[in-house]
Amino acid sequence: MVAVARPLAPSNDSRSATRGARAHLDAPLDTDVALETPEHVVFRYRVAGPALRTAAHLIDLLLLLTASFLFGLILVGIALLLGIAHEDSELGKALIGVGLVFLFAVQWLYFAICESWKGTTPGKAVLGLRVVTKEGRPIGFGAAALRNLLRAVDMFPGVFVVGLYLPAFVAMAITGRFQRLGDLLAGTMVVVPERTTNVQPLRLQPAIQPGERAALPEQIRLSPEELRALELFLRRRGRLGVAREQELARVLTPAFAARFHVSQVVDPVRFLSVIYDIASRAGRDEAPAQEFAGSGVAGGPVHSRPPANLLTAASPVTAGPERQGPRS
């Protein structure tokens, strides 16, 4: 598993759970852009806004200025070493020429070449940004060249590679994908590809007691938004203090208690955990391994028994797997 630490982003869990929560709901978060693959599957990229891009650019500038300074030092050092640091020396003038070409490369070639090779510059890579086309594909040389040529306009007023980037900010505010003028021309955008790791679904510990189950109605159904909200809360429990936990739970508990006709709730957090567990696993059993036609994955899980009183013993759907037991 690869997890990349990103200092400027909020914690992985809540952010990604929020994004996952919006999957097929009304509108995506407005910093996300949804892309449909040719397989008609929709995934989302988080688009980098002005703040992230400014930070990345500052890092790049630091790198460039340092490199130019060092290069200049090297040239001067060579000149002094060879004793040619005076007006009439030919080699000295040649070194000046080399220095000028280096400055040109820094100003015009650095960004274009880095982005067409890897899709990212060192400054962007530090913050985990990448330049992709509007369709989510890696960019080529033409797009990288165009978007960086227009940097001369985007960074007005400015000189060399340092500027105020006023037109860029205006363009980013207007377009839907935080594109500056160079991005508009080249059809690109800057995204933050998230690398999340898989975590286990929430498990209720200790398991539901019969008394708790009896106090709740037979069917507990929550809307997807409610499920996501509860999931978000329950995943953050570890980082909240006990008092804060209870305080937040007490905000939601009255509404659910009224809906499920529960007169008295002793422990709000436990109550929310229980109804989340029931609602998220409603009607699901553990499937036998054969159900899944994966690409040749063998092996099945160890089946745990679902709560017995959710399903009638006579139901043919559930009787099968329980009789046949775990498969390997």
Partner 1 sequence: MSDLSRPRGLSAISEQAFSANREADWRALEQLLFKPFSTWDVDALARLSPLYRDVSSDLSRATTAGYSGQLVAYLESLTARAHAAMYARKSIRGRRSWGEWFALFPRAIRTHKWAMTIAFALFFVPFAIGLFGSLHDSEFAIRVAPHEMLDNLADAYTEGFSKGRATGEGIAMAGYYVNNNVGIALRCFALGMVFGLGSALYLVYNGLATGAIMGYVAAKGAGGNILTFVLGHSSFELGAIIIAGGAGLVMGWSFVSPKGKSRAAALRAVAPDLVVLIVGAAVMLFCAAAIEAFWSASAVPDTVKRVVGGAFFLALVVYVVFGGRRQRPAGPPSPGTGLP
From the list 72, 77, 83, 97, which residue makes contact with partner 1 (rule: CB under 8 A)? 97
- How far apart are CB 184 and partner 1 at their closest, in Å? 5
Q: How far apart are the C-alpha atoms of 130 and 53, rounded to whole Å? A: 10
Of 74-82, 86-94, 121-129, 244-252, which part binds partner 1 (CB under 8 A)? 86-94
Look up residue 292 and give its DSSP letter: -
43 vs 69 by CB, closer to partner 1: 43
Minimum CB–partner distance for residue 143 and partner 1 (Å): 5
Q: Is 144 helix (H, G, I), strand (E, B) or coil?
A: helix
Residues that contact partner 1, how many (by CB under 8 A): 105
CA distance 325 to 328: 10
Q: Confirm or reject binding of residue 295 to partner 1 (CB under 8 A).
A: yes
Binding mask 103-142 for partner 1 (x = CB under 8 A): xx--xx-----------------------xxxxxxxxxxx
Check residue 275 for interaction with partner 1 (CB under 8 A): no
* Closest distance to partner 1 from the beta carbon of 266 (Å): 26
- Interface residues for partner 1 in 177-216 (CB under 8 A)? 181, 184-187, 193-203
Nearest distance from C-beta of residue 275 to partner 1, angstroms: 14
> Under the criterion CB under 8 A, does residue 87 sit at the interface with partner 1?
no
Task: Tell the smallest beta-carbon distance from residue 243 to partner 1 (Å).
Answer: 26
Alpha-carbon distance values, 52 to 44, 64, 164 (Å): 18, 18, 15
Q: Report if residue 170 touches partner 1, rule: CB under 8 A.
A: no
- 188-192/42-47 β-pairing: antiparallel
Which of 133, 246 has the CB closer to partner 1? 133
At residue 262, what is the residue type? V
Assign 3-class secondary structure to 23-80.
Answer: CCCCCCCCCEEEEECCCCCEEEEEECCHHHHHHHHHHHHHHHHHHHHHHHHHHHHHHH
- Separation of alpha carbons 134 and 177, rounded Å: 9
Under the binding rule (CB under 8 A), the answer on residue 277 touching partner 1 is: no
Under rule CB under 8 A, residue 149 binds partner 1: yes
Beta-carbon contacts of 134 under 8 Å, excluding residues fewer than 6 positions away, are 177, 187, 188, 189
* Interface segment toward partner 1; rule CB under 8 A; list 57-65, 67-75, 101-109, 253-261: 101-109
Site for partner 1 in 24-43 (CB under 8 A): 24, 35, 37-39, 41, 43
Query: Exactly one of 206, 238, 241, 316 binds partner 1 (CB under 8 A); which one?
Result: 316
Which H/E stretch holds residue 216?
A: none
The answer to whether residue 226 forms part of the interface with partner 1 (CB under 8 A) is no
Q: Which is nearer to partner 1, 24 or 323 (CB)?
A: 24
Question: Edge-to-edge strand order for the sheet containing 130-133?
Answer: 32-36, 42-47, 188-192, 130-133
189 sits in which H/E element: strand 188-192
Sign, Cα dihedral of 109, 111, 116, 121: positive
Segment 48 to 77, residues that bind partner 1, using CB under 8 A: none
Q: Angle of helix 268-280 relative to helix 242-259, nearest 10 degrees? A: 60
Residue 236 touches partner 1, criterion: CB under 8 A: no
238 binds partner 1 (CB under 8 A): no
Interface with partner 1 (CB under 8 A), residue from 91, 162, 255, 308: 91
- Token couple for 292: 């899944």
